[in-house]
């Protein structure tokens, strides 16, 4: 099923924002599974350029998180006895994803969303599906040799408050001057800002930065700094207040962890060539994620 066209989404969001109290009230009284059964449709939120988690290749949505959610949709089909359940894929951004869950525009948010205590006040999360190392990309000729050199620099991020807080915390721990943080809604825009010297550095998930560097003609002039400025647990986003639906999602993911299927999907997206350019990110599974697979948790970070 093709995703919604982006140009159609903006007026929809404005209308949803205006009707937020009404839709939220309906969401509280109508369980997600009941709404899906009634509509004969499940709405799956996806990102357009969060490689390799959720991104577009032509008209198709692909990625690690996309495949995890496909398995969750299969579990919903089985639970409802609806093998022909329709799937509508809806593009979301770092700014719209929470609103679209709250208003019922999407039933699952399948991208690269960090489970934080702040976000838990507005949305729910599945068990952790990935632990991201937050890295910093700089130009090779920038004179920035490590995280200690970021004090007072201009750092851009496109993943919102979690990464911004990670950068500020990393500098505070080292008693360095705080960086000036800029944000943008698109990873590609942030990447261009570093290349064009509008900013000094770009902080984001390691895998996305590696992809951007590997597929850009400017990649050879860039590097990742040693060490992480933070670790972020990624999970599937859900609406709050629906424990039955959350249990179904968690049970589907935990079954994949136990069977080894999630590990095989990890190998496919992080240790093998991926579309469209057949780049291999070569990011081995971290010890922290291995532990999460043994002992699943939906705990978030501050």
Q: The tokens of 20 are what?
A: 């937020």
Question: In angstroms, rounded to a whole number, what is the distance separating the alpha carbons of residues 155 and 53?
Answer: 23
* Residue ranges of domains in the chain, CATH in brackets: 6-130+233-294 (3.40.190.10), 133-231 (3.40.190.10)
Please list, in sequence order, all residues whose beta carbon lies within 8 angstroms of the beta carbon of residue 235, skipping any fewer than 6 positions away. Answer: 113, 115, 125, 126, 127, 128, 129, 298
Q: What is the pLDDT of residue 153?
A: 94
pLDDT in tens, 62-102: 999 999 999 999 999 999 999 999 999 999 998 899 999 99
Q: What angle do CA 83, 86, 89 make, to 5 degrees?
A: 135
Q: The whole model's pTM is what? A: 0.81
Residue 95 is predicted with a pLDDT of: 85
Q: What is the pLDDT of residue 159?
A: 62
Q: What is the C-alpha separation between 249 and 298, in angstroms, rounded?
A: 12
pLDDT score of 4: 45
Task: Report the length, in residues, of the chain.
Answer: 302
Phi, psi values for residue 199, rounded to 5°: -135, 170
Strand 222-224 and strand 130-139: the pairing is antiparallel
Q: What b/e string do you get for 263-293 counting C-beta neighbours within 10 Å, with b at 16 or more?
A: eebbeebbeeebeeeebebebebbeebeebb
Give the CA angle between residues 172, 178, 179 to the nearest 5°: 130
Q: What's the pLDDT tens digit per position in 160-203?
A: 667 888 888 888 888 888 889 898 888 899 999 999 999 999 99
Q: What is residue 161's predicted lDDT score, i.e. its pLDDT?
A: 65
- Computed over every residue of the chain, the mean pLDDT equals 89
Mean pLDDT across the stretch 226-235? 92
Residue 26 has pLDDT above 50, yes or no: no
Q: Has residue 24 got a pLDDT over 60?
A: no
Q: Is 156 a residue whose pLDDT tops 80?
A: yes
Which tokens belong to 269? 């997206």
123-136 confidence digits (pLDDT tens): 999 999 999 889 99
Is the peptide bond prior to 149 cis by the omega test (within 30 degrees of 0)? no
Class of residue 136 by CB neighbours under 10 A (exposed 0-12, middle 13-18, buried 19+): buried
Query: Nearest Cα to 269, choosing from 282, 258, 286?
Result: 282
The Cα 17–Cα 291 span in angstroms is 39
Q: Over range 46-56, report the average pLDDT.
A: 95
Give the model's pLDDT for residue 169. 85
pLDDT at position 14 is 42
* Of residues 18 and 154, more confidently modeled: 154
Contact status, residue 157 vs residue 165, Cβ threshold 8 Å: no
């Amino acid at each position: 099923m093709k995703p919604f066209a982006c140009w159609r989404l903006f007026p929809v969001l404005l209308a949803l924002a205006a009707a937020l109290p009404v839709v939220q009230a309906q969401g509280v009284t109508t369980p997600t599974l009941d709404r899906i059964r009634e509509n004969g449709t499940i709405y799956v939120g996806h990102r357009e350029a969060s490689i390799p988690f959720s991104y577009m290749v032509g008209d198709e949505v692909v990625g690690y998180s996309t495949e995890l959610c496909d398995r969750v949709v299969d579990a919903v089909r089985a639970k409802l006895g609806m093998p022909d359940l329709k799937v509508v894929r809806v593009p979301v951004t770092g700014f719209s994803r929470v609103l679209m869950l709250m208003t019922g525009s999407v039933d699952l948010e399948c991208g690269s969303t960090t489970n934080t205590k702040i976000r838990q006040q507005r949305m729910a999360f599945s068990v952790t599906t990935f632990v991201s190392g937050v890295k910093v990309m700089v130009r090779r000729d920038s004179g920035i040799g490590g995280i200690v050199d970021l004090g007072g620099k201009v750092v851009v991020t496109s993943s919102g408050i979690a990464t911004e807080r990670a950068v500020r915390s990393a500098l505070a721990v080292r008693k360095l001057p705080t960086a000036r943080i800029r944000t943008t809604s698109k990873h590609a825009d942030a990447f261009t800002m570093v290349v064009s010297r509008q900013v000094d550095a770009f902080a984001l998930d390691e895998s996305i930065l590696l992809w951007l560097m590997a597929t850009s003609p400017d990649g050879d002039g860039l590097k990742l700094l040693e060490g992480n400025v933070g670790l972020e647990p990624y999970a599937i986003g859900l609406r709050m207040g629906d424990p039955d639906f959350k249990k179904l999602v968690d049970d589907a993911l935990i079954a994949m962890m136990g069977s080894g299927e999630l590990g095989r999907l990890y190998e496919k997206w992080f240790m093998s060539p991926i579309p469209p350019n057949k780049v291999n990110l070569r990011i081995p599974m971290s010890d922290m994620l291995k532990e999460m697979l043994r002992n699943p948790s939906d705990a978030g970070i501050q």
